[in-house]
Structure 1
Amino acid sequence: MQLHMPIGSSVIRLLFLFCTLWLSAAATSQADRPNVILIMTDDQGYGDLGCHGNPIVKTPNLDRLHRESIRMTDFHVSPFCTPTRAALMTGRYPGRTGAFRTSSGRTMLHTDERTIADVFAASGYATGMVGKWHLGDNAPHRPQDRGFQDVVWHRCGGVGQASDYWGNDYFDDTYERNGRFEKFEGYCTDVWFEQSLRFVEQHREEPFFLYLATNAPHGPYRVDPQWSDPYKQTAKWGAGPQFYGMIANFDHNLDILRKRLKELDLADNTILVFMTDNGTANGGKFNGLTSEPTAGFNAGMRGKKSSIYEGGHRVPFFVHWPAGGLVGGRDVPSLAAHIDVLPTLAELCKLPVPDDHQPDGVSFAAQLRDLDAPPARKHLVVQFHGGAGFAEGPQAWKDSCVLQGPWRLINGKELYDIGTDPAQRNDVADSNPDLVRQLRELYPPFWESVSPRMTPVSIDIGNPAQNPTTLCSQDWYMPRGNPPWNFNSIRKLPKVTGPWKVNVFQAGRYRLTLRQWPVEADKPVVAIRAKIQIAGQTAEQFVEAGTKGVVFELDLPAGKTELLTYLYDASGKAGGAYFVDVEALR
């Protein structure tokens, strides 16, 4: 006997099937376009987390993220700041990008570089950047020039550095929002997280990529005593209590962020990444850059920030993405690096990377998903170009480390097996000459590929994207050493000058105003005579007493050139103008 299903029941079943398929497709589509929040703290080392065994600092929320995440346990960055940021943004070795120092005109990306924000924006993502950029303060190098659509950031490499808004001190500071200065209330880290949540809530209905880079716990070490006081008796070295207090404040804000993501129903399909930019700056007492700590904690490693030994460049890297199955607290021991983050996130989000901008990095997405997947990277070269304090120009082998498996070849000479000697106390190069030779063969292809790109990067003047623009002494292209780079060094009015590498964006009449202080400082120039040299022209004039800026107007041809300034005192000694406002008049 044939059974006949009632029409109403059939329709209901068809509707149910349609809804099931639609919801499945919607879920698949959602998982294909996850949100991404990439968080990076400044100067926090691998050992500056409770989950990595630190017995002093309390990081309950980082510890929870660690328990819930996939962790790359052999993850490496550059030994300090700007180079890590350049590699993270481009997926390319810092030397190749042009941004391989923290000052002296070597902090900006070549204009033909493409960033991770460009990749996400090209695929329809909303892109936001909050906090520390340190890849250029002027067009075309600001975050809003490099693919980020919504930015709130402080200039230079830290709050209180030379081009930062004068007087900023971490509390109630003035930062830049999308090209305009704006005063904010509260502690810097609190502000960064508040602005991050603003961005998230504004773009909750579309896929977004957010880069949240805190300046904490970078010095100067300032934080409310409620965060530092608990460490006064346990972190008894220098600014140890303040350093750990800044980390504790970050940890508190991380909890607020994660709870709000859950409330917004965004937590499951958001790839949340936590990492740091280099080894610890103040997580213990060290005898120089390359030692083990005599107090504090460094996870058993030798070296700190700016060191080529393990503690200078091995950092935490956690990835949490419930909708993508990246959960559960699993360690991945494969070698990975900052240059691998862009291709990895692009693969996880199924985004194309431009054919004309292939990364040096490789995706480790397979290793995140499957512990048994073969390693994506077989070796890595980490190099600190120019040495501490930029004592000399970049050199082959100088301050370099070749990494392969457990082996670390330092400066092409010293060899360590961190599998048996994590503190790198026992140099075994003499007993392993064949291995040293094999590892040395990995370095020349790196250097020969990267070093030709370690060339000057210019700042635009007369660019409609930022006209007028203010040049700062931190970007003087010094042959060696550092220019005046923070508020305190500027206040001393040092008798030193250096050239800016500039690109005159368009030929025409320009007004150049020489200052020793930024406009907002409202202070007079302390000099009797001023001189300027640019594009083959030299101009001089006497300085009127009490003036706050010495104005020159010149006709400039388009193209790349140097700008050099002098402010002479009554004894004839000259220092440069630490700030120059440049405006294209026509």
Structure 2
Amino acid sequence: MYFSRLHWLLLILNISAIAISDAKSNRPNIVLIIADDMGWNDVSFHGSDQIMTPNIDLLAYSGVALERYYTHCVCTPSRSALYTGKFAHALGMQGYPLTNGEDRALPLTEKILPQYLKDLGYATHLVGKWHVGHSRNEYLPTFRGFDTHFGHRCGYIDYYEYTSEETWPIGDVAGLDFYRNMTVDWESNKYVTDLYSEEAVSIIKNHKEANPLFLTVAHNAPHSGNAGAPLQAPAEEVRKMRHVESPERRIFAAMVKKLDDSVGDIVKALLEKGILENTIIAFVSDNGGMTSGSYLNYASNWPLRGLKMSPFEGGIRVNGLIWSKNLSNSGSHSWSGYMHAVDWVPTLLKAVGAEPPPNIDGVDLWESITANTNSKRDLIFEIDDYSGFASIISGDYKLLTGKIEYSFGTHQGQSISGIIGSGPSYKDTLIKSTVYSVLKEIDIDFKMKDTKVRDQSKINCSKVSDDLCFPDKENEKICLFNIKEDPCETQDLSATYPHIVKIMKERLQKELQRTIPRTIPYYSDPRAAPALHNFTWTTWINNPEP
């Protein structure tokens, strides 16, 4: 049979299209789950007997627990770093989080994770929190690489009413912050953690498998709600937590329970869809918990020092894990190498067979994690020119400079860790969980001995002292800690190792020169007032001036 040149060209193009389609469909799916303001001691795989998180734990035990996973100490900077692969200070996104009336956002010049994955043929969906810009339409998720968005754009919402409240010079202002794509959602009426879980399950169920799936589920939980009702959970779930001594911590535990249930529902949906075995799941907290102070939610970073809003370990060393069925066969369920939120972009891209982009701060750690080898990440920075502190981690050491609020830098959480009676059975909780039954379905034979990660993850500090080092810019006081030997940052070594101080200060000073100055938060642009927009928080720069 004679084929013309046109026929050959069409045949080649058809073969190429089939090859591209096969490559797209064979790439692993990615599900990224982000908890909000969840502390180190708020998951049971870190040793807590107070709050049980069996579904999260089993992903850690059958995948890889990231034992030295770091992020920025506040939500907007940490999400900026995760999505771009760049430290927040290199973007001008460091420091105090975005407020509802602030015209600032993740720079539009930055390509972000959903855009990279969309270029590879992924269907991309965001369920839950955004919080990296909402004053203009072009800052919103569906203009930044996500096909769909269902959830809130600001920092937090009420768990039942979906409102967000701020204090402005004119008084308290509040509005609804709940959207399906660009449309305000006035109809939803369930506990928001359940809503986000149901939406994630629906997206998985209706996903067309010709394209791989990228689903981010950024929960409101367990962040505090508005000041009038900061802790919210269904009453029946709170009653199940009567072994928790602190009444406030009891409600928080129920909030975490609903979050853990959501993780189980998502994993089960992936199984029922038939795509779990070709899916990578990551679970992280955006920063440490807030045990006291503004926006407190009674989270616990114990025994780590410090809270959210601080560069101490409790603010930046957080819960993290990565799971895939292949990792369950690796033989190691814990990885102790350094990883930072900026590393997700290159690591996930390499995991799905794509080359990481150049000119980012993130490091591809996929091979290091899967082969259980040393981390390629050494330097970790926390720079906040707005609050006025900076820190650097290199090797075993951490150096802190500037000024840190005292109330954010102490050891907190022990006083709310009490248990009435013996508490729940950890073994029974695991065996009755959703993920336990799912693992059996895909032939992962989990045994209780696999919980050895729990012992490896538990941090014990021989002494928590009241005599703590705080950096002091006026008196040129800096603090140096060996965070491998002293993870609770109790012993200042700056006078003992002046040569290490000198080297680390010089490297930090070099990094400070990369900082894009942070603008002072503008809390109350009058155009943003919800009363001018049918009592909703919405874009206001695009809208005609009222």
Give the TM-score normalised by the residue count of structure 1. Answer: 0.67
Tell me, yes or no, if structure 1 residue 403 matches structure 2 residue 401.
Answer: no
Aligned residue in 2 for 1:421:
486
Aligned residue in 2 for 1:236:
246
SS in structure 2 of the partner of residue 274 of structure 1: strand
**Structure 1 residue 118: deviation in Å?**
0.6
The structure that has the greater radius of gyration is 1
Aligned residue in 2 for 1:494:
none
Contact 1:155/1:164 (<8 A) preserved: no
Could you tell me which amino acid in structure 2 is paired with residue 92 of structure 1?
A: K
Higher relative contact order (CA 8 A, sep 6+): 2
Aligned residue in 1 for 2:197:
193
Aligned residue in 1 for 2:64:
70
Q: Distance in 2 between matches of 1:192 and 1:335?
A: 31
Tell me, yes or no, if structure 1 residue 40 matches structure 2 residue 34.
Answer: yes
Could you tell me which amino acid in structure 1 is paired with residue 491 of structure 2?
A: N
**Structure 1 residue 167: deviation in Å?**
9.2
SS in structure 2 of the partner of residue 272 of structure 1: strand
Could you tell me which amino acid in structure 1 is paired with residue 74 of structure 2?
A: F
Q: Distance in 2 between matches of 1:448 and 1:280?
A: 30
- Select the residue among 123, 133, 138 that pairs with 1:136: 133
Change (3 A) 1:516 1:157: closer
**Structure 1 residue 325: deviation in Å?**
6.0
Contact 2:284/2:320 (<8 A) preserved: yes
Change (3 A) 1:418 1:175: same
**Structure 1 residue 103: deviation in Å?**
2.7
Tell me, yes or no, if structure 1 residue 380 matches structure 2 residue 380.
Answer: yes
**Structure 1 residue 230: deviation in Å?**
3.2
Aligned residue in 1 for 2:364:
363
**Structure 1 residue 229: deviation in Å?**
2.7
Aligned residue in 1 for 2:501:
436
Change (3 A) 1:166 1:334: closer
Contact 2:153/2:177 (<8 A) preserved: no
**Structure 1 residue 404: deviation in Å?**
1.5
Contact 1:516/1:579 (<8 A) preserved: no
SS in structure 2 of the partner of residue 83 of structure 1: helix
Change (3 A) 1:73 1:515: closer
Tell me, yes or no, if structure 1 residue 94 matches structure 2 residue 88.
Answer: yes
Q: Distance in 1 between matches of 2:115 and 2:287?
A: 24
Change (3 A) 1:193 1:579: closer
Q: Distance in 2 between matches of 1:151 and 1:329?
A: 36
- Select the residue among 143, 147, 160 that pairs with 2:145: 147
1:140-162 Cα shifts (integer Å, max 9, x gaps): 1111111101111212111159x
- Select the residue among 207, 212, 216 that pairs with 1:207: 212
Q: Distance in 2 between matches of 1:67 and 1:109?
A: 35
Change (3 A) 1:192 1:385: farther
**Structure 1 residue 353: deviation in Å?**
4.3
Q: Distance in 2 between matches of 1:351 and 1:120?
A: 9
Aligned residue in 1 for 2:106:
109
1:455-510 Cα shifts (integer Å, max 9, x gaps): 66xxxxxxxxxxxxxxxxxxxxxx46x725xxxxxxxxxxxxx58xxxxxxxxxxx
1:263-309 Cα shifts (integer Å, max 9, x gaps): 11111110000000011124xxx6999xxxxx985342111111211
Change (3 A) 1:279 1:70: same
SS in structure 2 of the partner of residue 306 of structure 1: coil
Tell me, yes or no, if structure 1 residue 176 matches structure 2 residue 179.
Answer: yes
Change (3 A) 1:141 1:267: same
Q: Distance in 2 between matches of 1:405 and 1:255?
A: 36
Change (3 A) 1:581 1:434: closer
Identity of aligned residues (%): 25
Change (3 A) 1:184 1:516: closer
Could you tell me which amino acid in structure 1 is paired with residue 246 of structure 2?
A: K
Change (3 A) 1:327 1:254: farther
Aligned residue in 1 for 2:451:
none
Contact 1:35/1:208 (<8 A) preserved: yes
Q: Distance in 1 between matches of 2:111 and 2:541?
A: 28
SS in structure 1 of the partner of residue 276 of structure 2: coil
Q: Distance in 2 between matches of 1:581 and 1:76?
A: 34
More strand, by proportion: 1
Q: Distance in 2 between matches of 1:249 and 1:329?
A: 29
Q: Distance in 1 between matches of 2:245 and 2:103?
A: 35
Moved more, 302-311 or 319-328: 319-328
More helix, by proportion: 2
Q: Distance in 1 between matches of 2:116 and 2:538?
A: 36
Change (3 A) 1:240 1:385: farther
Contact 1:119/1:353 (<8 A) preserved: no
Aligned residue in 1 for 2:279:
270
- Select the residue among 258, 261, 264 that pairs with 2:270: 261
**Structure 1 residue 583: deviation in Å?**
3.7
SS in structure 1 of the partner of residue 277 of structure 2: coil
**Structure 1 residue 425: deviation in Å?**
1.1
Aligned residue in 1 for 2:8:
none
Could you tell me which amino acid in structure 1 is paired with residue 396 of structure 2?
A: P
Q: Distance in 1 between matches of 2:268 and 2:98?
A: 38
Contact 1:119/1:351 (<8 A) preserved: no
Q: Distance in 1 between matches of 2:65 and 2:243?
A: 32
Contact 2:289/2:300 (<8 A) preserved: no
Aligned residue in 1 for 2:237:
227
Change (3 A) 1:318 1:31: farther
Change (3 A) 1:515 1:448: closer
Aligned residue in 2 for 1:528:
none
Give the TM-score normalised by the residue count of structure 2. Answer: 0.72
Aligned residue in 1 for 2:534:
520
SS in structure 2 of the partner of residue 151 of structure 1: strand
Q: Distance in 1 between matches of 2:305 and 2:201?
A: 37
Q: Distance in 2 between matches of 1:404 and 1:133?
A: 31
- Select the residue among 500, 517, 528 that pairs with 1:454: 517
Aligned residue in 2 for 1:551:
none
Q: Distance in 2 between matches of 1:454 and 1:84?
A: 17
Q: Distance in 2 between matches of 1:34 and 1:108?
A: 30
Aligned residue in 1 for 2:73:
79
Q: Distance in 2 between matches of 1:215 and 1:223?
A: 12
**Structure 1 residue 349: deviation in Å?**
0.8
Q: Distance in 1 between matches of 2:118 and 2:24?
A: 17
Unaligned runs of 5+ in 2: 1-18, 167-175, 226-230, 403-477
- Select the residue among 266, 277, 281 that pairs with 2:290: 281
Contact 1:279/1:311 (<8 A) preserved: yes
**Structure 1 residue 516: deviation in Å?**
6.5
Contact 1:46/1:298 (<8 A) preserved: yes
1:390-440 Cα shifts (integer Å, max 9, x gaps): xxxxxxxx3222112221111171011122222111111111101111111
Contact 2:63/2:328 (<8 A) preserved: no
Change (3 A) 1:379 1:134: same
Q: Distance in 2 between matches of 1:115 and 1:30?
A: 19
Aligned residue in 2 for 1:14:
none
SS in structure 2 of the partner of residue 63 of structure 1: helix
Tell me, yes or no, if structure 1 residue 343 matches structure 2 residue 346.
Answer: yes
Q: Distance in 2 between matches of 1:139 and 1:579?
A: 6
Moved more, 81-90 or 204-213: 204-213
